Structure 1
Amino acid sequence: MNPSNHPAAASEPFSVRVADRVTRLPPYLFGRINKMIYDKRVAGDDVIELGMGNPSDPPEELVIEKLVEAARDPRNHRYSKSNGIANLRREVAAKYFKKYGVRLDPDAEVITCLGSKEGFSHMCLSLMGPGDTALVPTPYFPVHVYAVALASGNVIQLPVTDSDKFLSAIAHTCETLYPKPKLLLLCYPHNPTSVVVEQPFYDEVVRLAKRYNLMVISDFAYADVTFDGFHPPSFLSSPGAIDVGVEFTTMSKGYNMAGWRVGFCSGNRQMIQALATIKGYYDYGMFQAIQIAAIMALRHTDAAVERQSQIYQSRRDALCDSLARIGWEDARPKAGMFVWQPIPEPWRSRMSTMDFAMMLLDKGNVAASPGSGFGPDGEGYLRMSLVENEERLRQAVRQIKACLKEAEADYAGAPAETAAT
């Protein structure tokens, strides 16, 4: 008798048993908002999207032309190297020397990544394991926590908004925790809060890292988007930084190449080698035509990157000025693609940040990321991106104002027992 035809076998449902690393992940907190955005757009509503930092401007034309030219070369359709072609790594090293005064060996201290998010995740996989602990700033960009979790590591979250207290918390945790933390993650300009630091902060980080044998990863994704003459420092510019850590950079923001997935990891050669080992098992590198076009961007588009920062600064001012006119706090950032906006009273006390964001989307057709999606310390804030043009940003604020006016009228007209809840 064929066992597959047995009635008992046919009635037993097949069970998919996913790995513990997957079940440890929490539900995706932005799922409700993304579904509502989709449903509204299907229904024909014009939703102004201020949630995701997805650049809406194209790369420079010469970069696109180089991509097309390189894509027509049959040699570029072969497998590439997972650590990136040599000329691209040399351009990264050249940029670090020109902009930050940092000397890097392009063969041993630079590696390309499929975007910095992939590189960071694989770096965690190469450094972390069961029982290992990473120190992560909070509020946090989700991958900063969950890449550690996927590598079976533990996370201790340290508040990021006060830099001096953050440094003190690093020292205190290293003094009191056993086993001591293995990894420190930094992210400046910070996502989502846009907090920035100066070079002495990194000098102290290096001192702490050497004292407590703490490896450091600097996520420098917003290095190229800066305002009002501010120039964010590189972690690698601090003396001794290359002895203790690495830094991730990306071409997604300032170069408008988000979908191209071009990122880099630079710094400590042992950490770079560990990442290279993992990547050697997981991928064959990015499409070589993209790498060749990225070389053109690094060599020839510095002025365009500066112009793009000016565009984001104008958008920042349009959004923040408009919000100030309706009574919201001026939360103007010095760098990055986001405004970390406190929710005004009485709404901050009346409802959760998620409910407030859902109300703006439902009634005002404006999508913003609720701060609680970046951890409990984000409660009471919205992260608003600068990817829309100035007029769309002003229109978004007009719609927010109308939405809140309508909601206030509904709230005032509700029965006392309902309003109290």
Structure 2
Amino acid sequence: MMATGYRLAMGLACGLQLSALMPATCMAQWLPTLEYQLALTDQQSQAVDVQSQRWRLQPQWVGQYQAWRFNVLPQLELQSSGHLQGEENQNRDNYPPEDINYNGPLYWHSGLRADMREAYADYDGTLFATDWSLRLGKQQVAWGQADGFRVLDIINPQDLREFNLPDQQDTRIATWMLNSQWSLGGDQILQLIVIPDLTFSERAPSKSPFAITSPELTPTITAGQAVVRKATKRPDWRPEWALRWSDFVFGWDVSASYFAFFHDTPVIYREVIDSVVHVSPEYRSSQLLGVAANTVYGSWVHRFELAWLDRQFLISSAEYSAGINESPEAQFVYGLDFQGWSNSVLSYQLYLAYLQDEQLGTVRHQQSIRHTMMMKRSFLNDTLNTEVFLLLNRDYNDGQWRLTGDYQWNDNWVIELALDAFYGPAIGPFGQYQQANRLSMGLEYSF
């Protein structure tokens, strides 16, 4: 990890200071952006109120040093007001404590936060007589075909401080890893990922409108009952690793994958001793086997993902279970996209999840079904982009809908507008956020 940082720093220094001396092997480019977002809600005080007001600066550098290409993306964020501002998560057990300066926020106080969003170097060459590429450093890896469902796309943990409302790329937390790919001939590619960085998902603080309250996802404690929370048990150092094979077969892009990983949110074990609830969070491991495929028939795109997890950890109401039941789980997503209308895309997705073991006390349904509909359309020579997104969770008949639009005013300015709403009973994973409905407006300036 330190060697990676040294290589990136040397490449950055080369690009900024020595390009005049070595123009053929040493180049760099600065691509900063500045974003402003204001989110308004009427749920907290029954009047229009500020949910969040955020400034974000991303001074990105990209460049090349000899055969290495590099990308460095720091981020400075200021939450200047609102219900999401200023409550630092003092319990930062989602970051490795011994490496928090490399993995977690570089600085975080009173709404001001500095992070290294990404920092990696790329190298292309030949290894064992095959084409080989390497990406080394802090990065994101996107697997799968689904929009909004994390079936195979679970390599990176998530920033859940605003649930799923930010763009998917913004919710992934980049982690330090070795990401290598080999060409096996034709369209076959073998990918190996080794992740020594055990950073986990960042959850919303307890007082946030996006705090998890659904009994399906967090234990229910009786009002007035004494609770003792033990320190979160992190895993002993053991890297996660993944293997993925992909090819183009009979008109289909297909892939098969394996991932040995730790769940990105802790399993909440609990025990009642002398009328006191003792809570013991712990990060637990699992294995995933998955396949994915997509193809195009005329104006239609068919895509699917199938995953099997050997251990899913589920909230249980049974007293003898320590508050948790375990079961293997199968997940499936089928997507159908229609692109036959000019400047438009219409998409439908069906999500199914099935728990193999039906155990007494499990709060979650054995079978889960969700549907999504999305329509995207662009206008004015693709400078105005609009999207309508609808989600129905059949488990509780809850869900969400979203209207978004962004306008490319000129080469530097983008104007954004979004309306987000959740519905259904508060016990559902989406209905729990009824108090988080909001209208958000944003500006983005690229230097």
TM norm structure 2: 0.25
- Give 1 or 2: higher helix fraction: 1
Greater relative contact order structure (CA < 8 Å, 6+ sep): 1
